[in-house]
A and B are shown apart, each in its own frame.
Chain A
Amino acid sequence: MSKSAFSAIGEEAELGRDDFTPGIEPQATWCPGCGDFGVLKALKQAMPEVGLTPDEVLLVTGIGCSGKLNSYFDSYGYHSIHGRSLPIARAAKLANPGLSVIAAGGDGDGYGIGGNHFVHTARENHDMTYIVFNNEIFGLTKGQTSPTSPKGHKSKTQPQGSAKDPVRPLSLALTSGASYIARTAAVNPRQAGEILTEAIEHDGFAHIDFLTQCPTWNKDAKQYVPYIDVQDSDDYDFDIHDRREAAEMMHETENVLHDGTVLTGRFYVEEDRHSYGQEKVSQGQMPDDPLAERYFDADYEWERSADELVAKHR
């Protein structure tokens, strides 16, 4: 093939986190004390760590407070519709596997309206990172009960309190087939930055349930403190490569969150599984070279139905 039409991909550059602050909206407009600032900061922190430049990253978001992420993060961005960041993101990765693809959305976006896509993107194990801003509430629409709100949660739309058990995000990701599953919190920026770095480097579907406090409609930051990193604590001993042990740990983590015990860290990592793109290539269902390059390759000889297919209709 001739030279790549996408020279930003794989380009070496010494960048700092400020290089990912856009000149148009440098200051995010989330409420003061919002956990979403923590996601933005962690993402900017991870970028120089993984050696990416703004033009080789595609950040796809859904709708909600979290959807504003790509207004404040300088890269190629696609602010899509409610719940649909994952199908857009995964097709982009198939179209050009050289891109670094990150999807992000809220708990309503990812575990509610987009739940079907979450299950299927995880099972297919697309090589991408999915950040779910989990604030246990609908923030942008002013404080309604969300899929992760605890049982009994009262809001204007659930005046008697929710009769539903919340979604179990970590367990759902595991059952569905995600190959990297972690939970972090905006109140723990050091861990958040590290986990995001690992997730982006992970070759498969990395799901991060990111606890983002919503001081306006739900909890403030204090309610996620103290947090416990399960890798640092002597109280929790499980093998993150063991599906059964991970499942038990996740279940407990989800149980105790609403009792005030905030467990964070890596919960499951499966390193030797093929990503979906690798699987498709190895089965001859996807070309070795990025599909997107072909449209810029003036020498490419396009296949024709007349040569390959029409004869069988004679």
Chain B
Amino acid sequence: MTNTELIWRLAGGSGDGMDSTGQAFEKALMRMGLHVFCHRHYPSRIRGGHTYFEVRAGPEEVKSRGDGYNFLLALGDSFARNPRENQPAYYGEEELKPLSENLDDLREGGVIVYDEGMLDDDDLAELELEERAEEEGWHVYPLNLREIAREHGREIMRNTAGVGATAALLGMDTEPVEQLMSDRMSDDILESNLTVLETAYEQVAEMDFTHDLGIPEPSEAGGDKGEGEDKDQVLMGGSHAVAYGALDAGCRFISGYPMTPWTDVFTIMSQNLPEFGGVAEQVEDEIAAASLAIGASHTGVKAMSGSSGGGFALMSEPLGLAEMTETPIVLIEAMRAGPSTGMPTKPEQGDLEHVLYTSQGDSNRVVFAPSTVEECYEQTRDAFHIAYEYQIPTIVVVDQKLTGEITNIRESLFDREPDADPGSVLSEEEIAEAAHHESGIFNRFQHDPEGEMGERGVSPRSVPGQKGGRFLATGNEHTPQGHIEEDPANRVFQMDRRMRKLEAIREELDEAEPAHQTAYGPEDAEYGIMTWGSQQGTVEEAVDRLNANGHSVKAFGVSDLMPYPKKEVTDFLESVEECLVVEMNASAQFRGLTQKELGRFGERLSSLLKYNGNPFEPAEITEGFEIQMNGGEGAPSTGTRIEPAVGD
């Protein structure tokens, strides 16, 4: 076992503080100079049930959760236990789950720490832990964390005891952990936690270790962490990055309704908007949520809403209204596994077609799917810029993997000017100069064919309350003043003008800095792997491994789903012999989109699909690639499926 990589899994019951303990530990590792990345697994359940928080740490940039893990801290599940002494658990064997459910993914030679205060000998016999440990070369350290916590503080502090034990076993300095505790706690609580941490550490430090896994050494010039301003790192997940991107784009209005996993973005915005002088509205349903964003934006405020699959379905009709009335809004779609209620806490990329095409009529929207936490920030900013400049709804698609994926990013990313420009809105002075109907009504929906805005299909916009700017916005087809009109020539003129905006947006996005599409790997590689959104990092890790094993592979990650980056994708696909398309859904939606947009390459595109509720691991992608290279011979691991090329 090497010390270049630690994948630490903290397992326990929902509601037992797994998430906060996991995040604090992850942050401590970051402060030690390591690159970190987390994966959260939790059930759609309020209390109890099997949950874990996994942190992968190493000296170089960490792009995915990795394959399996090498350190298990199994804490038991306080909810599964019957509070009356010596009585059986309420939910069968759940108390065992932090151990039993996690053994399959633990790598050979891995370390197990479990809380013997939570389990008895019968439990362990049933698990055949000893036999399995011998077979797999695991190093097992039973510790009575519950007792340490009770003796020196309160039982709830067994998480702290577990972190102390982890530190001792890994030879890790506890100073960063203690520092984080003092940031978050005070007085008696802090004192007790520090004592619990220290006691557990010392008790374990005296034991004889059989493992040689230790804390990885931070690299002096590791990744992009070593030098200049980028050495300052912050720990952040996709939801925070989306919210901060919105705030820095001048968004000061959000309306929403809770739904997992979108709730995170909504919560962060709601907590911060009052401080930023903005307004957050929790409303009766998602139809209202999208409609309020439209109302606020129509009135001149940069506004957003969002939801997850089912709630986003309710936004279909207001979304179409925003397209027809050319009201800029930004919507977030935080996907989860569907159909219907599906698996609320599990990631999937099954809403691609839903997001692209939902609502009646021809789609006239912009859709971005950022692939990393940094891109969540960048592309949410871009979404506001495009929406307000071109008067068009823009959707940012993320998934539960990306929203919950907490990793280290450079702090300097945020140090730049905010972009609160309301886009193509006229001032009263400009309105006075602009074209009006003879009745005095403003020509809101007529571009100047000579002007720069007109070439892009963008018409001048006024805001209620501006003198001389009044017009009618309507979901019906309409005249330049917004009055209802079904004249064929006017219809075609207005449709063409609205659709023309997408071409102009594509041109602007092709010049976007940083680029929305990500090319990775050797330029002259023979084979390609293409993906979209949140799988990019895992694909990149797989590409590195494949090339190290003698293959010739490069990757292309797509963020722009509408308008589709035809030229870039065509260039990529023309440069490879074959391409594997990796996505988390069952019907190869992104491959279908690519074939529809390009009208070719059908013979070259096969799919690797996963839709069992867990994101890809790099080894699943390398395996899928090797099977594909092998002419489709061989079966992929459980959980993934290969879909051969279908032709044009």
Cβ contact of A91, chosen from B240, B281, B467, B469, cutoff 8 A? B281
Q: Which of A93-101, A104-112, A202-210, A264-272 contacts B (4 or more CB under 8 A)?
A: A93-101
A178 CB, min distance to chain B CBs, angstroms? 15
Q: State A306–B233 Cα separation when bound (angstroms).
A: 13
A-B contact count (CB 8 A): 232
- Check A96/B418 contact, CB under 8 A, given A87-B291, A305-B247, A308-B276: no
B299 located at the interface, meaning its Cβ lies under 8 Å from any Cβ of chain A in the complex: yes
Chain B residues in 8 Å Cβ range of A77: 470-474, 482
Q: State A268–B532 Cα separation when bound (angstroms).
A: 57
A236 located at the interface, meaning its Cβ lies under 8 Å from any Cβ of chain B in the complex: no
A167 located at the interface, meaning its Cβ lies under 8 Å from any Cβ of chain B in the complex: no
Cβ contact of B291, chosen from A91, A287, A305, cutoff 8 A? A91
Q: Which of A67-75, A180-188, A249-257 contacts B (4 or more CB under 8 A)?
A: A67-75
B408 CB, min distance to chain A CBs, angstroms? 9
- CB-CB nearest in chain B for A4: B465
Contact between B465 and A23 (Cβ–Cβ < 8 Å)? no
Q: How large is the interface on A (under 10, 10 to 19, 20 to 34, 35 or more residues)?
A: 35 or more
Chain A residues in 8 Å Cβ range of B438: 23
Contact between A90 and B295 (Cβ–Cβ < 8 Å)? yes
B476 located at the interface, meaning its Cβ lies under 8 Å from any Cβ of chain A in the complex: yes
Contact between B466 and A8 (Cβ–Cβ < 8 Å)? yes
Contact between B296 and A116 (Cβ–Cβ < 8 Å)? no
B157 located at the interface, meaning its Cβ lies under 8 Å from any Cβ of chain A in the complex: no
Contact between A88 and B298 (Cβ–Cβ < 8 Å)? yes
Q: State A91–B296 Cα separation when bound (angstroms).
A: 5
Q: Which of A138-146, A152-160, A294-302 contacts B (4 or more CB under 8 A)?
A: A294-302
Render B309-331 as a binary contact track against A, CB cut-off 8 A, 1 for contact: 00000000110110001000000
Contact between B465 and A56 (Cβ–Cβ < 8 Å)? yes
- Check A87/B247 contact, CB under 8 A, given A24-B483, A310-B411: no
Contact between B482 and A303 (Cβ–Cβ < 8 Å)? no
- Check A313/B255 contact, CB under 8 A, given A56-B465, A116-B284: no
Q: State A14–B439 Cα separation when bound (angstroms).
A: 19
Render A75-87 as a binary contact track against B, CB cut-off 8 A, 1 for contact: 1111111001001
Contact between A292 and B277 (Cβ–Cβ < 8 Å)? no
Contact between A76 and B415 (Cβ–Cβ < 8 Å)? no
- Check A303/B414 contact, CB under 8 A, given A78-B298, A79-B475: no
Chain A CB within 10 A, most for which of B288, B472, B476: B472
- Check A96/B300 contact, CB under 8 A, given A87-B288, A116-B288, A306-B414: yes
A307 CB, min distance to chain B CBs, angstroms? 9
Cβ contact of B285, chosen from A76, A116, A280, A314, cutoff 8 A? A116
Q: State A11–B470 Cα separation when bound (angstroms).
A: 15
Q: Which of B138-146, B420-428, B517-525, B590-598 contacts A (4 or more CB under 8 A)?
A: B420-428
Contact between B291 and A80 (Cβ–Cβ < 8 Å)? yes
Contact between A310 and B420 (Cβ–Cβ < 8 Å)? no
- Check A98/B318 contact, CB under 8 A, given A71-B472, A295-B422, A310-B234: no
A274 located at the interface, meaning its Cβ lies under 8 Å from any Cβ of chain B in the complex: no
- CB-CB nearest in chain B for A75: B470
Render B430-442 as a binary contact track against A, CB cut-off 8 A, 1 for contact: 0000000111110
Q: State A106–B496 Cα separation when bound (angstroms).
A: 33
Q: State A71–B475 Cα separation when bound (angstroms).
A: 13
Contact between B279 and A24 (Cβ–Cβ < 8 Å)? no
A222 located at the interface, meaning its Cβ lies under 8 Å from any Cβ of chain B in the complex: no
Chain B residues in 8 Å Cβ range of A11: 467
Chain A residues in 8 Å Cβ range of B414: 304-306, 310
Q: Lowest 6 A-B CB distances belong to which pairs?
A: A23-B439, A91-B295, A6-B465, A87-B291, A313-B234, A88-B295
6 A–B contacts, CB within 8 A, in A order: A6-B467, A54-B470, A79-B473, A116-B285, A292-B463, A314-B235
Given A99-B465, A313-B235, A313-B411, 9 more pairs with CB closer than 8 A: A6-B463, A22-B441, A24-B437, A55-B464, A58-B299, A87-B288, A91-B292, A92-B298, A96-B301
